[in-house]
Amino acid sequence: MAEPTKARNPEREAFYAEIGEHSLSPLWEVLHDLVPKSPRTPVLPTLWHYEDVRPFLMRAGSLITAKEAERRVLVLRNPGLGGREAITQTLYAGLQLILPGEIAPAHRHTQSALRFVIEGQGAYTAVNGERTLMNPGDFIITPSWTWHDHGNDSDKPMVWLDGLDVPLVAMLDTGFAETYNAEKQLPSRPEGDALARYGSGLLPVDYKPETKTSPVFNYPYARTREALESLSGAQEIDPWHGIKLRYVSPATGDWAMPTMATFMQLLPKGFSTQPYRSTDAMIYVAVEGEGETRIGDTVFSWKPRDVFVVPGWTTHSHHPAGEAVLFSFSDRPIHDKLDLWREERIKH
């Protein structure tokens, strides 16, 4: 349906100018931009090849220490967002580097964060006094307003993808941050405590959730990969997703994080997904295998460690060259809780 044409004349223009001086504007001139017929997004399909970004990360490592930077990160800026430090309208992403022997000092903030390990082995992240070692493919949570620091006791660089709800928190004007009184936290719980206490299909008898974030803060890739492999021979492959699992809180069954949804999916050899779109913009990381993703008229070829973005309500499909595994995250929990989420499964 075409938008109605409104005549512009000197009398109306003078009226608009006059009310503008009183911080007023005519809704009828902007109604169709404010309430569109379908979603419009400035977010652009974008791909970062890790082999192209890694040299810049290593150069950053020679220019500034993790302590000086507080967080030595190269932000993945979506070119459609006008220079904002954001990968989608509500989410931030960046690649963080910790060199051997370094510590990224402890702090906390209201923004929720996820870490998806890209390269290296043996570094750690500590959350509220519990350390966990980081291995490629691990999904690690830093809940809102929890003390956290990172360190690398290995002999090789460590790189992971940071995902945070920074733009969302900024839009709500709810950003707080605080620096810890020491460079790193002293351990107050043994390593693996959270996973043992909450991640084995059991919960302490009197446990009651205190936050909307999962009490498990490290979801090891080895466990996730095993689950995907088991399901690959035991269930019908979804035409639009392959075998796709979502990370959940074992305490509630809800999303593992209140503002970010996280997923891992297996694309079997010889399988391609049917065209699909949903209202949440998706950030993908290729974990295993190679292939291409078709996003509207854009085609991205990817391999392990590459990162790419699918804008919201944009038709896309995945076409692996062989078996492949993709990690992804989005702001779907917000869509769900506000009854805004929609999807469309398109059949060829």
pLDDT in tens, 208-234: 998 999 999 999 999 999 999 999 887
d(CA 326, CA 139): 12
d(CA 130, CA 147): 10
Mean pLDDT computed over 152-171 = 97
Percent of the chain scored above 90 by pLDDT?
91
pLDDT at residue 1, rounded to an integer: 47
d(CA 310, CA 308): 7
Banded model confidence at residue 7, pLDDT cuts 50, 70, 90: confident
pLDDT reading at 235 higher than 90: no
User: What residue has token string 């949804």?
Assistant: 261
pLDDT at residue 4, rounded to an integer: 61
Lowest average pLDDT, out of 55-59, 164-168, 236-240, 279-283, goes to 236-240
Residues ≥6 apart with Cβ < 8 Å to 139: 114, 115, 116, 218, 219, 221, 224, 247, 262, 264, 327
Mean pLDDT computed over 246-260 = 97
d(CA 116, CA 178): 24
* Mean pLDDT taken over the chain: 95
pLDDT reading at 174 higher than 90: yes
Strands (E), 76-225: 92-98, 103-109, 113-119, 123-127, 130-133, 139-142, 148-152, 158-164, 177-179, 218-219
pLDDT reading at 2 higher than 60: no
Q: Which two tokens stand for residue 321?
A: 């060259």
Mean pLDDT computed over 248-258 = 96
pLDDT at residue 274, rounded to an integer: 98
Banded model confidence at residue 159, pLDDT cuts 50, 70, 90: very high
Distances from the Cα of 42 to the Cα of 35, 173, 315, angstroms: 16, 22, 15
Banded model confidence at residue 86, pLDDT cuts 50, 70, 90: very high
Mean pLDDT computed over 98-117 = 97
Mean pLDDT computed over 89-101 = 98
Mean pLDDT computed over 185-190 = 89
User: What residue has token string 């065209």?
Assistant: 275
Amino acid symbol at 306: D
Each as own residue / partner, the long-range contacts of residues 191-195 (CB below 8 Å, 24 or more positions apart, any chain) are 191/130, 191/131, 191/132, 191/133, 192/132, 193/130, 194/130, 194/132, 194/218, 195/132, 195/220
Residues in the chain: 348
User: What pTM does this model have?
Assistant: 0.95
d(CA 45, CA 81): 12
Fold assignment, 46-345: Jelly Rolls (2.60.120)
Mean pLDDT computed over 260-265 = 98
Eight-state DSSP code of residue 38:
S
pLDDT reading at 236 higher than 90: no
Mean pLDDT computed over 102-118 = 97
Q: Where exactly are the structural domains of the chain?
A: 46-345
CA neighbor of 269 nearest in space, from 315, 298, 220, 233: 233
